[in-house]
C-alpha cells in the first residue's frame, strides 16, 4: 500500500486506487487530485494491500483493475462488497467491458470503464458512481440490459459466461485474443502450469475435446460479444 496525500483543504471524497502498474496509478492520481473535492488517499497493487488500505484510510470509492499482482480484481470486488457493502467500487481495466461489465456489476461494482476511455472519462465515471448512479458507456449499457432481458433464451456465450469462474473467464478471453500460454501467464501474473490447469478446467466444463476446439470457441465467443 502506498499513501498519497493531497494538500487541498476542501472537504473531499477519499479514493483508493488499486492497480498493479505504478505509472497507471500515478497518472490517475494526478488527474483525480486536480479536482478540489476528490482526493486519492492511497494506492495498492494487490488484494491484501487494498484490504489493508480500506481498513486504514476508509475511502468513499475504490477504483480497481481486474488484473492485479498475485490476485484477481474480481475476487477483490466480492471481498469488498461482502465486508463493506456500502463502499462504492468503479472498475478501470484493460479488458473489453462487453465481456466483463455484467459480471462486475453482479459482483458489487457500480461502474466499468476501459483504460482506453479512462484518460478522458474517468472523472465522469467517478462522479456518476459517487452520485448514486451506475457508469457504463452507452453501447455497453444497452447490451447489458438486452442480455438481462433475454436471459430465459440464453445464447451459447451466456452459458459460457455463467459456467466459468472469474479467472477462467480471463484465460478464456485471452485465449480468444490469440495469446499463448506464456503471454497469458505474463498478463495475469500466474505461472504457465496454472494457465494450463485453467484451460483444462474450461475444456471440461464446456465439453471440449481439444485445445483447438477451445481456441475456436473462444475466438467465436469473443467476436460475438464485441
Q: Determine the Cα–Cα distance for residues 187 and 34; give it in Å rounded to an integer.
A: 31
Angle at 24 between CA 18 and CA 30, to 5 degrees: 95
What Cα–Cα distance (Å) separates residue 176 from each residue in 101, 159, 165? Answer: 18, 16, 16
Chain segment 162-177, per-residue pLDDT in tens: 788 888 888 998 998 8
- The candidate with the shortest Cα–Cα distance to 177, out of 146, 133, 220, 212, is 220
pLDDT digits (tens, 9 = 90+) for 28-78: 999 999 999 999 999 999 999 999 999 999 999 999 998 888 778 888 999
Give residue 166's pLDDT.
Answer: 80
Q: What is the pLDDT of residues 74-105, one digit of tens each?
A: 889 999 999 999 999 999 988 777 778 888 88
Beta bridge partners of 88: 61
Same fold, 2-144 and 151-225: no
3-state secondary structure labels for all residues of 31-93: HHHCCCCEEEEEEECCHHHHHHHHHHHCCCEEEECCEECCEEHHHHHHHHHHHCCCCEEEEEE
Q: What is the mean pLDDT of the chain?
A: 85
Whole-prediction pTM = 0.73
- In CATH terms, is domain 151-225 a member of 3.10.20.30? no
Quick one: cell of 29?
492520481
The fold adopted by the segment(s) 2-144 is: Rossmann fold (3.40.50)
- Contacts of residue 85, Cβ cutoff 8 Å, sequence gap at least 6: 108
- Domain regions of the chain by residue span: 2-144, 151-225
Contacts of 202 (CB under 8 A, 6+ apart): 164, 168, 171, 172, 208, 214
Helix segments in 60-180, DSSP class H: 73-83, 97-107, 115-130, 138-149, 156-163, 166-176
Confidence of residue 153 (pLDDT cuts 50, 70, 90): very low
Amino acid at each position: 500500500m502506498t499513501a498519497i496525500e493531497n494538500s487541498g483543504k476542501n472537504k473531499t471524497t477519499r479514493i483508493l486506487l488499486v492497480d498493479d502498474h505504478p505509472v497507471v496509478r500515478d497518472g490517475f492520481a494526478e488527474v483525480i487530485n486536480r479536482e478540489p473535492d476528490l482526493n486519492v488517499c492511497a494506492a495498492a497493487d494487490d488484494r491484501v494491500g487494498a484490504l489493508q488500505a480500506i481498513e486504514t484510510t476508509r475511502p468513499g470509492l475504490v477504483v480497481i483493475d481486474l488484473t492485479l499482482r498475485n490476485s484477481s480484481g474480481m475476487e477483490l470486488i466480492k471481498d469488498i462488497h461482502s465486508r463493506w457493502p456500502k463502499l462504492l467500487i468503479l472498475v478501470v481495466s484493460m479488458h473489453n467491458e462487453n465481456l466483463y461489465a455484467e459480471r462486475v456489476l453482479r459482483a458489487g461494482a457500480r461502474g466499468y470503464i476501459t483504460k482506453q476511455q479512462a484518460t478522458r472519462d474517468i472523472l465522469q465515471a467517478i462522479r456518476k458512481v459517487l452520485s448514486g448512479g451506475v457508469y457504463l458507456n452507452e453501447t455497453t449499457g444497452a447490451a447489458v440490459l438486452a442480455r438481462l432481458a433475454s436471459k430465459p433464451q440464453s445464447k451459447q456465450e451466456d452459458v459460457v459466461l455463467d459456467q466459468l469462474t472469474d479467472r477462467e473467464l480471463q484465460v478464456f478471453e485471452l485465449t480468444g485474443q490469440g495469446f499463448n500460454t506464456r503471454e497469458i501467464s505474463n498478463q495475469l501474473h500466474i505461472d504457465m502450469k496454472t494457465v494450463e490447469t485453467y484451460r483444462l478446467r474450461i475444456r471440461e466444463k464446456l465439453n471440449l475435446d481439444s485445445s483447438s476446439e477451445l481456441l475456436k470457441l473462444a475466438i467465436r465467443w469473443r467476436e460475438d460479444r464485441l
